[in-house]
Structure 1
Amino acid sequence: MSEEQTNPAAERIKERKRNAVQPEEFLKGADAIRPTGNEQKLSFTDSFADRLTEHLEQVQADGIGVTDLAKLFGVPESEVTEREFEYTAWQIRNVVYNWPSEGALLFDIATDQTLRAISGEWDDVPPRQRFMIAQSLRSFQDECLFCGGIPDFNNKPVTSCCSERRVLTFRCPDCERRFLEFSTESRENSHIGSNV
């Protein structure tokens, strides 16, 4: 490949490295999170929680479309396709992303919209990192933004929504929405316990 020809994948990697942020510092600077009283845990600021709730209500009313995912992942709408699986999944370019529930996807889209509204720098964050930040913020809910229940980490492994493997979950026991799943299996032992 000559110097005039560039590898698009290599260029995307360089761009991601140039624009990557330290998530905690970025979110504190956007007034989205703050330390709790004991400084051991982070939580949403009141103003961010209020705006996130407003955006979540709007996303629930409007539904999710190709445009929402194209914005979150920074791709043209033509590269976004909803997939027909038993779980919530969308194909972005050549990668299929899945969510443990429709609520988790609604939360991510509302988070994206909220951070766009409060930070002029959110669009500069690499798209894959935006997704990972939105994903991690699901665990910051002290109260479920859908029903007001108290989400918790379930230490009892259950079958994943999205594959045949055992996972731990962060979920709301009241409305039963799963927000995060954590694998209980190492890669070497991923076949163990997958047939439940």
Structure 2
Amino acid sequence: MASGRAYSGSMLDFAAQYAAFQRRDPAWDGIVFVAVKTTGVYCRPVCRARTPLARNVAFYGSAASAERAGFRPCLRCRPEAAPFCPAWKGTRTTVERALVLIEQGALDRGHVDALAERLGVGARHLSRLFAEHLDASPLQVALSLRVQRAKRLIDGSDLPIDLVAKRAGFSSTRRMSAAFARLYGRPPSAMRNSRSANPR
């Protein structure tokens, strides 16, 4: 499993996060993502799965950060459906504006330099802000969002896989398949074939 830096913002200590996870507190949904070291899966704090021991848990500030650390999304609680309400929202408007543009597809075909120029900052500065607040680069966040879009389309529609790739923002079906293989260990078609089976 790849190494990654677990989330440890000054406002959020491990004990508080774990306590919120134990009680499945919806107020923390989207603020942190819970990674389980023994399963290699990351979840929303409201996940109904059995609560793991504290020593087997790590917390991350974004889905992209958890994925960069080598964890795959839970197929039960669907982290891609978590509301977007990071703990720092409202205090870093540049990152927030960047995320809106990335969600709209700014990095599906474009480059970080062009995104940074639209925001009135340098590309290196934008990358530093992402590292500080999301522990992931803009490109990693964009890839995570593309996979999440594709997963929602696979789960909620019968669109052909090539059309899913296009609508999710991938440049090709091959690139989408490679992203799914890295993250889920199986191709998008297998995700669709198993969506009615046991989700965990």
Provide TM-score, normalisation by structure 2: 0.28
Structure with more relative contact order (C-alpha pairs < 8 Å, separation 6 or more): 2
Which structure has greater strand proportion? 1
